[in-house]
Every structure is written in C-alpha cells, then in structure tokens.
Amino acid sequence: MTLDNDTPIDQIRDFFAHDLFAYDACGCRIVEAARGHAVAAFDIAPIHRNAMGGVMGGAIFTLADYALAVACNVGEKPTVSVSNSIEFLSGARGDRLIATCDVDKSGRSLGFYTVEVHDELGTQVARMTATCFRRS
C-alpha cells in the first residue's frame, strides 16, 4: 500500500495497526499523520510501568518510534530507521503520553527526524532524534 498525503487517516491507522508490538502490546494510536509529521499517543496503563512505578523507557521509545514510522513513511518510499538517540528528560506526570515527530531534513535516501514526547499536562518526557533510510 502506498501512503501519501491524500490517504485518509483511517487507512493510515489501519496500515500501522499491523505494527503489532506498538499497536497491540503498547496501545499506541495515531492522532495525526502527514508527510514528515505525525502525532501518536497512548494512555498510560500498568503494563507501561517499570518496577519503580515510572513509565518504562522502552514504552516511551516504542511510542516515539511509532510516531517516527508514520512521519517517515507517509508520502515517502518505504523507510526504516537506522540510528536513534533518545534522552529521557522527566518522568511522566499525567495519564497519557503524546509523541510528536517532525522531519528536520528529508533527502532521497536519508531522512532526519526529531520526536518530542510529552504527557498531557505538558511535561516534556523525552526527545529522540533519528536517521532513516529510504529503501528503493
């Protein structure tokens, strides 16, 4: 399936529902989707928490990676991430995490993206940068 800016959001959501770990296990859902931009979110549940009660870094990374996958594949050739760096800035204080991904530079074979993760109270929880490769 080719995803472009004219693809209805429901079809984009259906396509990315096949990212089973993010969708089924983590509960990630697409809020917005466009070429070079995506917003994804999940409601924090007990499964997202680590032994100390905070949201597990892996759950935060999964949400950021899900938003990245949407932003770098809508309107582009099939794209995969090849390098990611994430900084965990603060613990989540709310009940929902929201990841916003925006393209920094989009080239023929490489794309560079930044993902910001906040809770619904506005606390910045994490920031991820990613380099992605566009497959032919």
Range of the domain at 35: 9-134
Q: Does 2 map to a domain?
A: no
Is 4 part of any domain? no
Question: Is residue 62 a part of any domain in this protein?
Answer: yes
Which tokens go with 91?
């613990």
Q: Dump the DSSP string for 71-114.
A: HHHTTSS-EEEEEEEEEE-S---SSEEEEEEEEEEE-SSEEEEE
Instruction: Examine residue 78 and state whether it is found in any structural domain, yes or no.
Output: yes
6-10, 20-24, 30-34, 39-43: segment of lowest average pLDDT: 6-10
Residue 40 lies inside a defined structural domain of this protein: yes
* Single-letter code of the amino acid located at 10: D
Q: How far apart are CA 60 and CA 48, in angstroms?
A: 9
Residue 37: strand, helix, or coil? strand
Give the pLDDT confidence of 30-74 residue by residue, as tens digits: 999 999 999 999 999 999 999 999 999 999 999 999 999 999 999
Q: Hunting for tokens 């032919």 — which residue is that?
A: 136
The CATH number of residue 13's host domain is 3.10.129.10
Residue 100 lies in a domain: yes
Residue 95 has what pLDDT? 97
Q: What is the pLDDT of residue 44?
A: 98
Count of structural domains within the chain = 1
Which pLDDT score, from 0 to 100, does residue 26 have? Answer: 97
Confidence of residue 2 (pLDDT cuts 50, 70, 90): confident
CA distances from 16 to 27, 49, 52, 86 (A): 12, 24, 31, 22
Q: How far from 72 is each of 16, 40, 55, 56, CA to CA, in Å?
A: 12, 13, 26, 25
C-beta pairs of 52-55 under 8 Å, 24+ apart in sequence: 54/91, 54/92, 55/91, 55/92, 55/97, 55/125
Single-letter code of the amino acid located at 69: A
Residue 1 has pLDDT above 70, yes or no: no
* Residue 19 pLDDT: 97
Which pLDDT score is estimated for 3?
A: 86
Asked if the structure places residue 68 within a domain, the reply is yes
pLDDT per residue over 76-106, tens digit each? 999 999 999 999 999 999 999 999 999 999 9
- Position 80 in a domain: yes
Angle, nearest 10°, between helix axes 57-73 and 9-16?
Answer: 130
pTM summary value: 0.96
